[in-house]
Structure 1
Amino acid sequence: MIKRIILALFIIVVIGGGIVGFNLFRTKMIADIFANMKLPPVPVTVTEVVPGNWTPGIEAIGTASALQGTDLSTEASGIVREIYFRANDAVTQGQLLVQIDDRQEKADLDAARATAALAQTTLTRARKLQERGVQSTSTLDTAAAEAVSAEAQVAKLEAVLTMKQMNAPFGGTIGIPRVDVGQYVSPGTVYATLQDRSQMRVDFSLSEQQAALIRSGMTVSVNPEETETTVSGTIIGIDPKIDPNSRLVTVRALLPDAQGALTPGQFLRVRVNLPEESNVIALPQTVVASSLYGDSVYVVRMETPEGASGAQEVARQVFVTLGRRSADRIEIRSGLKAGDKVVNAGQNRLSSGAAVKITDEPAPAAN
């Protein structure tokens, strides 16, 4: 009985040892196969590092305004008798826009003119009598004063009549009427907005550090948020005072070629173009990968792996120091040199030391 038990245990040990040994052998063979397997090169596209000219810029947010633009308001009170414009009409300087009822003032002016004519006649008669010696000097002085007073009254009423007529102070596009015929208005009532959009301006703010880099005459590029239109202009004014609360400086640029592309009050993205610099390395921002360890790019180099018969293209991760950004490009301050080939597509499938193949179009990423 004992011999049978020992024989059974021996058989179990032999079979179990064989299974374990086979599994160990299989695992080692698989590891050797993968260790010696050569992965196919990863297809990538590259950008060659070529130092060139760089136009740095300062980005800001601005607001569009017309070269001339204002809200038109009434100077006198009264009933609106006539409105001589419609919304979005093009008006010229001096054009009559609104007429306030002025019948009473016209009647008063006629009476004042009659009084002035009588005063002038009385003055003329007094002078002739004074020359004959039959009129006193005091009577002549009184007549002269009354004539001057009457003329002043005429001038006053003429000015009042002028205030009853609302004329365009400059040419431009007028907005929606804000008053109606028959409405009573008081001085200061806004009746429309007038904007000369033939030339536009943009006002924006910069920090005091940024403001120290700009000068009048520098060019700016302006983009409305909702369109891809780009309008160029020139800085015409820099506020000489820094706002003590926001620490910002207000800057104004003239946009002479807007030609209706901008609207007063519109939100704008502004870029101030600083002087051009040469021998700067700038690459597309998409080539840079950021991680907790820093910013890096993959550079393709020719290397001869250990045991290989010849050199091959290998991607190496290189850490770089980044600088300024402009549009879709970024400045590389250190880590690269002229002639380096930087991977610009396909880097998501790379690891440092991976074999690569430079192509015109990389293979699509696996789903």
Structure 2
Amino acid sequence: MKKPRSIAAAVVVAVILAATAAWAVHASRRASAVAAVAVPKPALTVAAATLQSAVLPVRISANGNISAWQEASIGTEADGLRLAAVNVNVGDVVRRGQVLAAFASDTVNADLAQSRAAVAELEAALADAEDNARRAHGLQATGAMSAQQIQQYLTAERTARARLEAAQAAERTQQLRLAQTRVLAPDDGVISARSATVGAVLPAGQELFRLIRRGRLEWRAEVAASELAKLAPGQVARLTPAGGETIEGRLRVVSPAVDIQTRNGLVYVDLPPDTPARAGMFARGEFDIGTGRAMTLPQSAVLLRDGHAYVMRIGTDSKVMQTKVVAGRRAGDRIEITGGIDASARVVAAGGAFLGDGDLVRVVDDPVARSSGRLVSGAASAAVN
């Protein structure tokens, strides 16, 4: 009777031990699961950056129009003549003295021929008057002629000379009119406008062409009155026309006056002769006036959202917080920070666009990455498992 009881007791003990072991395994697994849920996983592995002192260029921003350095208005001096030929068009490069247009000269040639004939006639009359005056002057001592007659011959000589000079002046006038039938370029340059039409009969003073002298362009930039004192001739300016490439020019002169309405002054910047810009374009630009020290971050650390600059600041618990900062100058891959964080604050060097407020990050302790602001594992690295 004792043996069956012993076997039953052993079975009961084995069952109890198996249940205890099963409960222990289940409790262990449950504790591991709870622990796994309780410990959050980092969203990204990032490098931290802090504010670093750097030497940045000091620049003054400006806006303005690109204009011709000097634009010449070329008109007609001939009055009432028909335009017979137009030799140039808009965009043509011309040289000083080049014939741009010509008027019909038949009428002027006829008037000139008539003036020349009148001059020839009066030259003959003057020669005859001079002979008479010379003979009269020779007879003055003999008394063969009265003083009154001698004076008449001398007066006739002076009258003939005056008439000849008037005729010669009329001839020069006709020669000038003939020269005015050819419209010449006053300087080297580029034709920027043309209103001349073949066959038109034009009054004196009518504009025919406009010429950009020497093809030179300038940027007329508007600068705040408070900044004008920092500018001086010779400084470098870099401007970018709308939709164009950056152009480098040299400041030529600062306007001595300021507009009383806008409180801005004009500065004139010479552009290179091979510039792709065109007169009338609008351009934005900057003037380099020196260098200065500033506290900077990598540009990859600064996010632009809704027109403002932000950084993802890393807290002591490795969680990030979006923080608004005040951005200033930019140079290379650095951007000046003038407010919003202090020098000891750590921010996400890159990849902040993939993070939100409160996200946990894993910060890699890399001094080089902290100072340069480069992301160690990439902005889009996978979450740490």
Could you say whether these structures have the same fold, taking a TM-score greater than 0.5 normalized by the shorter chain as the test? Answer: yes
Preserved CA contact (<8 Å) 2:298 2:349: no
2: CA distance, partners of 1:237 / 1:207: 15
Instruction: Give 1:353 shift.
Output: 8.8
Report the secondary structure of 1:245's partner residue: coil
Do the aligned partners of residues 56 and 318 (structure 1) sit closer, same or farther apart at CA in structure 2, a change above 3 Å counting? farther
Q: Which residue pairs with 2:208 in the alignment? A: 191
The letter for the 2-side match of 1:233 is G
Identify the residue that residue 276 of structure 2 maps to in structure 1.
261
- What amino acid sits opposite 1:37 in the alignment? V
Q: Does 1:233 align with 2:246?
A: no
The answer to whether structure 1 residue 245 and structure 2 residue 261 are counterparts is yes
In structure 1, give the amino acid aligned to 2:60: I
Report the AA paired with residue 331 of structure 1. Answer: E
Q: Is the 8 A contact 1:44 1:363 kept in 2?
A: no
Tell me, yes or no, if structure 1 residue 141 matches structure 2 residue 144.
no
> Are the equivalent residues in 2 in contact too, given 1:172–1:194 (CA < 8 A)?
yes
Q: 1:346 aligns with which of 344, 348, 352?
A: 352
Q: Does structure 2 conserve the Cα–Cα contact (< 8 Å) formed by 1:45 and 1:362?
A: no
TM-score where L is the length of structure 1: 0.73
Q: How many residues align?
A: 324
CA drift of 1:99 comes to: 0.9
Change in CA separation of 1:340 and 1:71 when aligned onto 2, cut-off 3 Å: farther
Distance 1:110 1:269, change over 3 A: same
Separation in 1, partners of 2:296, 2:363? 24
Give 1:85 deviation, angstroms: 2.7
CA gap of 1:124–1:49, structure 2 versus 1, over 3 A, is farther
1:118-169 deviation line (CA, Å, top 9, x unaligned): 3344334434443443453432332232222222212222222222211112
TM-score normalised to the size of structure 2? 0.70
Picking from 107, 113, 116, the partner of 1:113 is 116
Structure 2 letter corresponding to 1:70: A
User: Which residue number in structure 2 is paired with residue 91 of structure 1?
Assistant: 94
The CA distance in 2 between the partners of 1:187 and 1:212, in whole Å, is 46
- Matches of 1:94 and 1:69 in 2, distance apart? 16
The amino acid that maps onto 2:281 is Q
Paired position in structure 1 for 2:297: 283
Matches within 5 A, 1:117-196: 117-134=120-137, 136=151, 137-174=154-191, 177-196=194-213
- Relative to structure 1, is the Cα distance of residues 120 and 323 closer, same or farther in structure 2, using a 3 angstrom cutoff? farther
Matches of 1:131 and 1:289 in 2, distance apart?
A: 105
Q: Is the CA contact 1:44–1:346 (under 8 Å) kept in the aligned structure 2?
A: no
Q: Tell me which amino acid in the other structure corresponds to 1:272.
A: F
Range moving further from structure 2, 138-147 or 202-211: 138-147
Matched residue, 1:3: none
Partner of 1:44: 46
Partners of 1:287 and 1:343 within 8 A in 2? yes
Give the CA deviation at 1:202.
Answer: 1.1
Whose radius of gyration is greater, 1 or 2? 2
Counterpart of 2:279 in 1: which secondary structure? coil
Relative distance call for 1:56 and 1:198 in structure 2 (3 A) is: same
For 1:198 and 1:346, the matched residues in 2 are separated by 50
Supply the distance in 1 between the matched residues of 2:353 and 2:239 (Cα, whole angstroms): 34
Aligned pairs for 1:320-331 within 5 A: 322=326, 324-326=328-330, 330-331=335-336
SS at match of 2:329: strand
Tell me the distance in 2 between the aligned counterparts of 1:198 and 1:291: 44
The C-alpha deviation readout for 1:70-119, integer Å capped at 9, x for no partner, is 34332333211122234533322111111112211221112212222333
CA distance 1:124–1:238, shift in 2 (3 Å): farther
Alignment correspondent of 1:333:
338
What SS does the aligned partner of 1:233 have?
strand
2:74 pairs with one of 68, 72, 75 = 72
Query: Residues 282 and 187 of structure 1: is their aligned pair in 2 closer, same or farther, counting only changes over 3 Å?
Result: farther
Contact 2:218 2:269 in 1 (8 A): yes
Cα deviation, residue 338, structure 1: 9.0
Instruction: Give me the whole-angstrom Cα distance separating, in 2, the residues matched to 1:123 and 1:193.
Output: 48
What are structure 2's unaligned runs of at least 5 residues? 1-30, 138-149, 365-375
Cα distance change on mapping 1:354 and 1:79 into 2, 3 Å: same
Percentage of pairs with the same residue: 22
CA deviation after TM superposition for structure 1 residue 193, in Å: 3.4
SS of aligned partner of 1:170: coil
